[in-house]
């Protein structure tokens, strides 16, 4: 069995991101402020490694994605784009699949994820935001799907952006490459709340998440992924019936129900209280 590296040791090995674990919250921090946190193949690799590490870290209840500096991310790094322009099809395909893997890894992260967005969030950065379960932004944040200006398309991030914004809004903003502000992002459900102080706004959400069943939240995410198509048929009814029956008889489901009946805190809350004490 492969030994898992600690979050601290992993973070020390990175050059484009930082990882921190504080009071049950994993922080993944984009750390290239000198280039407005533009990402390249190295940042993609390090982010993917970090997300997987937080997924397997028992003391991590949820993950917060944020950035150092003024901007969340300006999207693709210019030097990385120059490399892509010189690649053949096979190398471009491999490169694109690495980004697709990052988006999928974040989208399927088995714990709640929160994006804190300030400044610019352009191109692929919008994909990262849409892969997170919850996103908060400052009123001054700005967003753009700028790919068509370069003769490209927002292909890899499109499933997550369309899921968040809807097809109609995606048609407009992917085709026009218009910038849109935080108020519009809120209207389009790219973000769920606007706040000047993102850390303060996130605090009650984090507290609410930490009070919930870890298994219950993980299963909720899987459930929501399964229901994305919107189809409600016999298979859907069978799946949802099996899921609730399965979780009722699981150890954590039994603990939650019995704690409710006994009017006590469930083990996942009580254990945290003991640790703090």
pLDDT digits (tens, 9 = 90+) for 105-148: 999 999 999 999 999 999 999 999 999 999 999 999 999 999 99
The residue-averaged pLDDT of 241-264 equals 95
Taking the C-alpha atoms of residue 6 and residue 199, their distance in angstroms, rounded to an integer, is 25
Is residue 2 over pLDDT 60? no
- pLDDT tens for 26-51 read 999 999 999 999 999 999 999 999 99
What confidence score (pLDDT) does residue 199 get? Answer: 98
What confidence score (pLDDT) does residue 272 get? Answer: 67
Is residue 52 over pLDDT 60? yes
Is residue 184 over pLDDT 90? yes
Sign of torsion over alpha carbons 194, 196, 200, 202: positive
Could you confirm whether domain 213-276 is CATH 3.60.20.10? no
Of 78, 213, 202, nearest to 133 by C-alpha is: 202
Taking the C-alpha atoms of residue 269 and residue 273, their distance in angstroms, rounded to an integer, is 6
The residue-averaged pLDDT of 157-162 equals 97
Taking the C-alpha atoms of residue 123 and residue 121, their distance in angstroms, rounded to an integer, is 7
Which residues does 190 contact at the CB level (< 8 Å), separation at least 6? 126, 129, 130, 135, 143, 161, 164, 165
The residue-averaged pLDDT of 167-178 equals 98
The residue-averaged pLDDT of 55-77 equals 96
The residue-averaged pLDDT of 180-206 equals 98
- Percent of the chain past pLDDT 70, that is, above it, reads 96
- Could you tell me which CATH number the domain at 7-209 has? 3.90.226.10
Taking the C-alpha atoms of residue 163 and residue 2, their distance in angstroms, rounded to an integer, is 36
The residue-averaged pLDDT of 256-266 equals 95
Order of all β-strands in the sheet with 134-137: 17-22, 25-30, 62-67, 113-117, 134-137, 193-194
What confidence score (pLDDT) does residue 273 get? Answer: 62
Of 62, 63, 55, 56, nearest to 18 by C-alpha is: 63
What confidence score (pLDDT) does residue 1 get? Answer: 37
Is residue 212 over pLDDT 80? yes
- H or E stretch including 52? helix 41-56
Q: Are 194 and 182 in contact (CB under 8 A)?
A: yes
What confidence score (pLDDT) does residue 6 get? Answer: 86
Is residue 67 over pLDDT 80? yes
Is residue 270 over pLDDT 80? no
Mean pLDDT of the chain: 94
- Percent of the chain past pLDDT 90, that is, above it, reads 92
Domain ranges (residues) in the chain: 7-209, 213-276
- Helices then strands, each counted (H, E), the chain: 13, 9
């Amino acid at each position: 069995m492969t030994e898992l590296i600690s979050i601290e040791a992993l973070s020390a090995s990175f050059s484009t991101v930082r990882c921190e674990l504080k009071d049950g919250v994993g922080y993944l921090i984009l750390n290239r402020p000198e280039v407005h946190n533009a990402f390249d193949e190295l940042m993609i690799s390090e982010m993917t490694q970090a997300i997987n590490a937080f997924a397997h870290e028992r003391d991590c209840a949820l993950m917060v994605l944020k950035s150092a500096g003024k901007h969340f991310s300006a999207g693709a790094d210019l030097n990385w784009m120059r490399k892509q322009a010189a690649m053949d099809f096979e190398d471009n395909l491999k490169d694109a699949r690495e980004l697709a893997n990052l988006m999928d890894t974040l989208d399927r992260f088995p714990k709640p994820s929160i994006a804190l967005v300030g400044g610019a969030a352009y191109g692929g950065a919008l994909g990262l935001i849409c892969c997170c379960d919850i996103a908060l932004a400052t009123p001054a944040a700005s967003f753009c799907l700028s790919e068509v200006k370069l003769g490209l398309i927002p292909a890899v991030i499109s499933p997550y952006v369309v899921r968040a914004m809807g097809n109609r809004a995606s048609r407009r903003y992917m085709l026009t490459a218009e910038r849109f502000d935080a108020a519009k992002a809120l209207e389009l459900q790219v973000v769920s709340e606007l706040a000047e102080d993102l850390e303060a706004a996130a605090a009650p959400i984090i507290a609410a998440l930490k009070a919930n069943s870890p298994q219950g939240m993980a299963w909720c995410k899987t459930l929501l992924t399964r229901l994305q198509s919107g189809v409600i048929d016999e298979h859907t009814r069978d799946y949802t019936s099996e899921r609730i029956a399965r979780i009722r008889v699981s150890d954590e489901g039994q603990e939650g129900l019995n704690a409710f009946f006994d009017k006590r805190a469930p083990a996942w809350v009580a254990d945290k209280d003991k640790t703090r004490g």
